[in-house]
Structure 1
Amino acid sequence: MFSFSERLAKLPPYLFVELDRMKAEVKAKGVDVIDLGVGDPDLPTPSHIVQAAIEAVKKPENHHYPSSAGMLAFREAAANWFKNRFGVEVDPQKEVVTLIGSKEGIAHFPLAFVNPGDVVLVPTPAYPVYHIGTLFAGGETYYLPLLPENNFLPDLESIPEDVLKRAKILWLNYPNNPTAAVADKAFFEKVIEFGQKNNIIIAHDAAYTELFYDDYTPPSILEVKGAKEVAIEFHSLSKTYCMTGWRIAFAVGNEKLIAGLTKVKNNVDSGAFQAVQEAGIAALSGDQNCVAEFRKVFKGRRDVLVAGLKELGFEVEPPKATFYVWAKVPQGYTSQDFAAKLLKEAGIVVTPGNGFGEPGEGFFRVALTVDEKRLEEAIKRISALKF
């Protein structure tokens, strides 16, 4: 009787919904499932953030509609955090907007600047929402393959001239999901020059900048001279402070880009609950030792998993950032076949690389969202399989 809109009909199945379905089937058979699929940290939100939320919920002034742009106090906290972390000043009034999680902002951003027929440059494999937001805005996605031989960085020089003329936005994400690749400031300098030369918006999803290890510290693209002329950057409290369920984030950057996103939000949502924003203020303004502790935990897990996989003969390198490990599937398997084998024969959920895009074929992604003992158990189960 009713049919979905064309935009919904064009959507691929959302990767993690399908993973949840398959996982539920195996669990229903009584299998003890080790879930290394979705990037949802198992660690609890730090207590001082939770306490700030509890107190904020009690305030009657927080029981009303919030501003779509977010509380000025939250935007000021975000601007102060950004200056302390990256050494870049942003105006909390004009260059910061509060988001109901960065997914919301990323999905809505193309609606502000993309017209039907415009092109959006999207890396692949990648977080699916860059492409989904493009579809919803009526734009066309031009994929930029992230390949091992290019260190999982897009080759901007490979983009045809006719595509460049129609392109409105270039999406980037470093540290990267799913490949865990990192980008240095020199790469960002090239990207900003590319955006300026071609009049293309640079949209950088920076959700994983605070999950880094060893001697590496991720830069912000806004550290590059001239970046504010063409760039917007999305930051999430979800992974940094283990607040995935709280749905709180912010975007910073070019004043007009922030204004465009804010105008969309003015018309489609009523902003983040102010009590959650107050919790966000506590996170951004408080002691950052909790973030350092999270990094230690994830580094320990990374080391256990990478060592175990290497011992079993997998091709894998320890990531410098994120809580993902990107590894090659064994010879003779597709990504899908290998992921299905792990789930059915070992009760382990991993994400097939091709689920993030065609160039991800031949890889699988592991999320470090269980403790070291469970990771050791996963390695033990994999070692018992025949490949």
Structure 2
Amino acid sequence: MIQLANRLQSVEEYYFSKKLREVNILKAQGKPIINLGIGSPDLNPPERVLNALVETFNENGAHKYQSYQGVPELREAICGFYKRHFNVPLSPLTEVLPLMGSKEGILHISMAFLNEGDEVLIPNPGYPTYSSVTKLVGAKPVYYDLDEDNNWHPDLVALEMKGVENVKIMWVNYPHMPTGANATNKLFEDLIAFAKRNDILIVNDNPYSFILNRYPRSILKYRDASEVCLELNSLSKTFNMAGWRVGMLLGKSEYVNAVLRVKSNMDSGMFLGIQKGAIEALNCSDMWYLSLNSVYEQRRQIVWQIAEALNCTYDSNATGLFVWAKLPDYLNAEEYIDLILKEKSIFITPGTIFGTNGNRYIRISLCAPQDQLEEALARLR
């Protein structure tokens, strides 16, 4: 066999890629699996989005290569969206870059800014892709603790005392996945000051702002943010468009252009129909968000009961697509969810996949129809 690249020695296959194969095998064996592990919205996008996609099929030039930077109308829609919802003014010409999902952006940003051996601050618990991409580009992950006692916010004083002179990027993610914690104004202000003192690029990954969250925030709104911050966002969660792969990078033109230099060598533009659909999504009225959150609110009430049936506690003020639930001291997360999968045919995500600080937690998704959630609750009672 041809020898694999050394970079793969430190990177494993994504947890859900492996676990879903196991779940699918159980389904094929006739097990009535209820999947409460994945944050893939099961609801449809807005109808206007679907119509825009279909109407594009016969447009002249629709099936040709598209601009690496997206059509002007999409960049303008992104800027309008940020101005309307976050009060962040951006230039559609220089400060916005549409992406094929924000996950793509994590790799492109890392390739644009990191050299081999650079250190990267990664939240624990946090999105596993931050760590795997850091390793893939030859940089060094440095994990910073988030814990319930500090509202899942970093201790920046402790970080500076440990030394951050070799840190190039810090990943933050508020509203936070998996815990659902929100940033405060003070946290974003402190992060910006921390980044300026230490010459660090802060990247806020922000796809959950509009899910069960009354106060959407962007780090780019705060003073001096443009000097040291980038933000990623996505249409996947807000508009039920996960499979469409539409994300965006926003920030200072020099930083965005650096990422474009990587991206333009990796793809040949986004299909025009997807861009037209994204424009319609970004221009949705407030009724869309109210309707979407009404569904998730009903589902969350049931998921809270599921957490209680599993003898877990949770924060009812948390936001996002998941309920982050704390296990009793005597239970191990991975062993417990494997037992539930085996005995109850319910798949729930163990907190361990998000880092060592997730050892005593499980994550339950709201991305399942209400009847499935009720069935899961009945099985557990």
Give, in whole Å, the separation in 2 of the partners of 1:380 and 1:322: 24
Match of 1:148 in 2: 148
1:18 aligns with 2:31: no
Match of 1:274 in 2: 272
Match of 1:30 in 2: 30
Deviation at 1:163, TM superposition (A): 4.3
Match of 1:315 in 2: 313
Query: What does 1:110-121 correspond to in 2, within 5 Å?
Result: 110-121=110-121
Deviation at 1:312, TM superposition (A): 5.6
Where 1:32 maps in the other structure, the secondary structure is: coil
Where 2:325 maps in the other structure, the secondary structure is: strand
1:231 aligns with 2:236: no
Contact 1:200 1:230 in 2 (8 A): yes
Between stretches 147-156 and 326-335, larger displacement belongs to 326-335
Give, in whole Å, the separation in 1 of the partners of 2:262 and 2:110: 10
After superposition, the C-alpha distances for 1:42-94 in whole angstroms (9 at most, x for unaligned) are: 10112110000111122132211111121121011000110000111001111
Give, in whole Å, the separation in 1 of the partners of 2:153 and 2:367: 26
Match of 2:251 in 1: 253
Query: What does 1:1-387 correspond to in 2, within 5 Å?
Result: 1-159=1-159, 163-213=163-213, 216-310=214-308, 313-383=311-381
Contact 2:100 2:246 in 1 (8 A): yes
Deviation at 1:162, TM superposition (A): 6.9
Where 1:122 maps in the other structure, the secondary structure is: strand
Contact 1:67 1:271 in 2 (8 A): yes
Deviation at 1:161, TM superposition (A): 5.5
Sequence identity percentage: 35
After superposition, the C-alpha distances for 1:26-57 in whole angstroms (9 at most, x for unaligned) are: 21321111100110011011211000011112
Give RMSD over aligned pairs. 1.5
Contact 1:302 1:318 in 2 (8 A): no
Deviation at 1:290, TM superposition (A): 2.0
Deviation at 1:219, TM superposition (A): 1.1
Deviation at 1:13, TM superposition (A): 3.0
Give, in whole Å, the separation in 2 of the partners of 1:68 and 1:43: 29
Deviation at 1:260, TM superposition (A): 1.0
After superposition, the C-alpha distances for 1:240-272 in whole angstroms (9 at most, x for unaligned) are: 000000011111112221111111101111121
Contact 1:303 1:318 in 2 (8 A): no
Contact 2:75 2:97 in 1 (8 A): yes
Give, in whole Å, the separation in 2 of the partners of 1:283 and 1:274: 14
Deviation at 1:205, TM superposition (A): 0.3
Give, in whole Å, the separation in 1 of the partners of 2:185 and 2:41: 28
Contact 2:126 2:178 in 1 (8 A): yes
Change in Cα spacing, 1:314 to 1:381, as seen in structure 2 (3 Å) is same
Query: Unaligned stretches of 5+ in structure 1?
Result: none
Contact 1:170 1:202 in 2 (8 A): yes
After superposition, the C-alpha distances for 1:292-316 in whole angstroms (9 at most, x for unaligned) are: 2111111111112113433663212
Give, in whole Å, the separation in 2 of the partners of 1:90 and 1:207: 18
Where 2:61 maps in the other structure, the secondary structure is: helix
1:205 counterpart letter in structure 2:
D
Change in Cα spacing, 1:377 to 1:57, as seen in structure 2 (3 Å) is same
Contact 2:86 2:216 in 1 (8 A): no
Where 2:265 maps in the other structure, the secondary structure is: helix
After superposition, the C-alpha distances for 1:154-198 in whole angstroms (9 at most, x for unaligned) are: 222222567411111110001111111111111100001111111
Give, in whole Å, the separation in 1 of the partners of 2:10 and 2:299: 38
Give, in whole Å, the separation in 1 of the partners of 2:136 and 2:329: 38
1:34 counterpart letter in structure 2:
I
Poorly superposed stretches of 4+, deviation over 4 Å? 160-163
Deviation at 1:317, TM superposition (A): 2.1
Where 2:164 maps in the other structure, the secondary structure is: helix
Give, in whole Å, the separation in 1 of the partners of 2:161 and 2:67: 41
Aligned residues: 381
TM-score, scaled to structure 1: 0.95
Give, in whole Å, the separation in 2 of the partners of 1:163 and 1:62: 51
After superposition, the C-alpha distances for 1:351-387 in whole angstroms (9 at most, x for unaligned) are: 010011111101000110112222122122122xxxx
Change in Cα spacing, 1:363 to 1:90, as seen in structure 2 (3 Å) is same
Where 1:165 maps in the other structure, the secondary structure is: coil
After superposition, the C-alpha distances for 1:125-149 in whole angstroms (9 at most, x for unaligned) are: 1111111221222111100121111
Query: Unaligned stretches of 5+ in structure 2?
Result: none
